[in-house]
Structure 1
Amino acid sequence: MDMGNYINKQYYLPLLMDFCKKTISLYEGAYDQGPFIPYVMSNYDIAPTKIMYVGRDTYYWQPFETLHKAFIEGTLDKYLDANKRCVTTDTMLKWKNNSGSFFNTVEKLHLLLRTSKYVSDITTIGEKEKNFLEEIGYGNLFSIEIPQTIRKRYEDNTYRPPKNYWEICNAAKPFETLKSIIEAYDPDCVFVFSWIDKEDVFFEGTDYTQRKEWFEDGFRAVYTSKQYHTKVIWTLHPNRFSFLRTSVEEMCYYLADTYHQVSLLK
């Protein structure tokens, strides 16, 4: 099924080179994964509306060895190729109907936006719906796994990030901004699924402001810009839905309704 994802190498390759020059010597004993770089699925460019979905961070990504080898050999574009192969529509569908999954919610929301129908069982979709999923773009608020995520690999939960880890995180900030997503992929709308304080970095270098009339604490914030046409809808991560007494289905309808109304804003 997978038709191949796309990454804007012209835009991200210079940023990745700069990142490597700053961090390659910092990695040993500090961190073991390369940075996440935003990318889009194969039908993104021909979609009637271009939508990016932004999560918090990943659990594992590409190992540092992949990045280091590509840097040493002068073939950093190979790291970008490896980056965009980590998650495809095929792998998204293998997670099935996990209610706390970022991608399960993204799949169901995207299909609701494209077909006006909610799919309760993602394993039942046909080729037409799978092609719609090939329109998805994917980003993260954190290019480097946050300590809370890394600790999952430690049975005693004792991991404490060293100084070099924070320097690597700081160098990865160019991969974490809305501005970079817009300049690389020009989306019409960006959904952010993580109710955390990250607006300062995410909106850095832009004039985005929050539309107070759309704010619902813990559930929704809407941001618009005079400079960019892209609308931003910020919401909570799916693993928080049940704690706040809502569900994937209810949130998908809520976010779809928000999207349709926000898309009309000037």
Structure 2
Amino acid sequence: MANYKMIIQYDGTRYKGWQRQKTTDQTIQGKIEAILSRQYGRTIEIDGSGRTDAGVHAHGQVANFRLPDACCAGKTPEELCEELRQIFVQYLPEDIAVTEVRVASERFHSRLNVVKKTYVYRIWNADYPNVFERKYMLHDNRPMDVEAMRQAAQYLLGKHDFAAFCGNAKMKKSTVRTIHEIDIRRIGEEIRFTYTGNGFLQNMIRILTGTLVDVGCSVYPPERVVEILASKVRAEAGPTMPAQGLTLWEVIY
């Protein structure tokens, strides 16, 4: 039973998130599993590197799944990779693409083996909307001090308890995470936030961005981030930014 690794891109605009749900077929995981299960005549489940919320996009989501030997019909795993690529091209909707399929090691697990993840949040910071990329960035025309946001971001680097930046009020597991890098830069009219860490809590990137934007808009000074971290209280942090600006960019193993 070979183990297959996929890299997946999707426009999350019309989907209810990554994770399959019993009440809807509008999830990324659900769409891919339905195609595989129908093609091979049995239930096939895939494991993703993590969940993305409704409306969030992915440039490099990773998932893995196993195909029973009975599905192989004498084909080698490499031949099945090509077959799978063709199946996805033919049957996936145009806003989901599997960009790579390859045989993975027996022990590879897309979630358990993650070392780092990179997310990007994009803001169109102009008086007029971006007509062509409006689904992939938030339009906010307020003046923003990028340097102040960079100063605030420095306080978030390293290993911390990010409870104040978690959108799940009933979180029972550890809220300690490590952020390796936060890059904030202006690219023309766009302000782009890039986060790399060992993992992120529910809504964490969107809350971090909301907090940094508050700093950039002079709601409070950069040093306020230290107090927010220490409080471990969600209400102390900034707003949860809308989903459309967020993209899971890369998963590193």
TM-score greater than 0.5 by the shorter chain: no
Superposition TM-score, scaled by structure 1 size:
0.24
Q: Which of structures 1 and 2 has the bigger CA Rg? A: 2
Please identify which structure carries the higher strand content: 2
